A = this chain, B = another copy of it.
């Protein structure tokens, strides 16, 4: 009964395993057919062959497009293409919208012009606008010609807003009503629909110029006396609306704060031009948090885990190159102190501790500050307060952990002075990490940059080179001169 919609990972894995099973059987049959070239045998195998594919195809028909999308993402390329061929064409569009960009590219590559056109024609204007940038240019022409005037304008409108704006996320499915009618009229009007647009929780009340006058929630439509006028019942103050140029992240935060399901998008003249729903916002929130998590490891984009080695290398090389540069700088700092290390080789063993702990503490500070900036909790004016606090934390950690490490160094190398230098260097590097952890994101914010981008690389570079310099410098001054 629940076949179409598994709610948990186990349910999904059952479907995936069944499909993998069928695929394996199919491959076995294929290789048998290939080896045994006897005509009779070929015939028998061929029937099994067809049976397998038919079973696979029936299985896929019963699954929700979002689940097929996940299954495609979980299959290696050759299996993925086989399954993709078997999916009923009317689901193609929905599936392409659900899969990750990398997997979408791998699927589009296998489709010919007619298939692509069929998919494009099955989509709404806003969905089509999402897909267009991935289509071959010659197809786009044809697709545009197949649309009617209004749809074409909608697709162009949706495409005209840059990624990351509300305009790029809005759809054009909405129900509009006038304020001078009774709820009964609205109820009768709705009965003429076959279905309402997804996520319709409110109707937009507009005047003759399509300007937003208020919103009529389905709730107020249902709980109020049908004899009442829309104007009496609608909400017309403190409306949450969005503009097409508004930032999508801010919009997503608004959906979260005010528990919204759909919001009208209005232009400068308050004309309703579209609608954003919580489904778009959930996708947006998930995409953003994934981008942030991937960004921490320097992965530029969501990677198809079945992508080729070459594609993976491309996705990852930039980060490694940047880190190579910063590691090289740190290496040059160490090189400055060759003489000291030669005299006291224990320095070489101890120096990564100072650098490493500084990097960890710095990343803690910077992660917290970046988040607070993103939540709007921190402004440049609060800098001093934050600096004082983080310096306090660094000082405590420096004395405590630096002290522990200092004692260990004393015990290991029988030198109390080496221990003291270690404690001092750790405290100073933690203070450096705290200061940079506060200043780097705040300065980037003031310069109008994204405070998160590359903050972690910067602070690690600083605490590595700085840690080596402070530790080896202190050792040279106090132990070796």
Contact = CB atoms under 8 A, between A and B. Distances in A.
Contacts of A331: 349-350, 352-353
Contacts of A254: 5, 7-8
A2 interface: yes
Contact of A316 (B4, B299, B364): B364
A240 interface: yes
Contacts of A289: 285-286, 289-290, 292-293
A282 interface: yes
A312 interface: yes
Given A285-B282, A324-B401, A70 B375 contact: yes
B1 A237 contact: yes
A448 B266 CA distance: 49
Contact of A397 (B285, B317, B363): B317
Contacts of A87: none
Contact of A297 (B13, B334, B367): B367
B1 A258 contact: no
**Copies of this chain assembled into the complex:** 2
B74 A250 contact: no
Interface of A: 1-5, 7-9, 12-13, 16, 64, 66-67, 70, 73-74, 76, 98, 187, 190-191, 193-196, 198-201, 218-219, 221-225, 237-242, 246-247, 250-251, 253-259, 261, 278-279, 281-283, 285-286, 289-290, 292-294, 296-299, 303, 305-306, 309, 312-313, 316-317, 319-321, 323-324, 326-328, 330-332, 334-335, 338, 341-342, 345-353, 355-357, 360-361, 363-364, 366-369, 371-372, 375-379, 385-386, 389, 392-393, 396-397, 400-401, 404-405, 408, 412, 464, 468
A7 B349 contact: no
A74 B378 CA distance: 7
Contacts of A187: 222
B240 A7 contact: yes
Contacts of A281: 282
A305 B378 contact: yes
B190 A257 contact: no
Contacts of A376: 9, 12-13, 16, 70, 74
B313 A396 contact: yes
B371 A9 contact: no
A312 B401 contact: no
A174 to B, nearest CB: 14
A238 B64 CA distance: 10
A320 B222 contact: no
Contacts of A349: 331-332, 334-335, 338
A419 to B, nearest CB: 14
- Scoring A326, A347, A361 by chain B CB atoms within 10 A of each residue's CB, the highest score goes to A361
Given A12-B376, A242-B7, A376-B9, A385 B352 contact: no
Contacts of A396: 309, 313
Contact of A261 (B199, B299, B353, B392): B199
A289 B8 CA distance: 19
B353 A324 contact: yes
A224 B191 contact: yes
Contacts of A372: 305
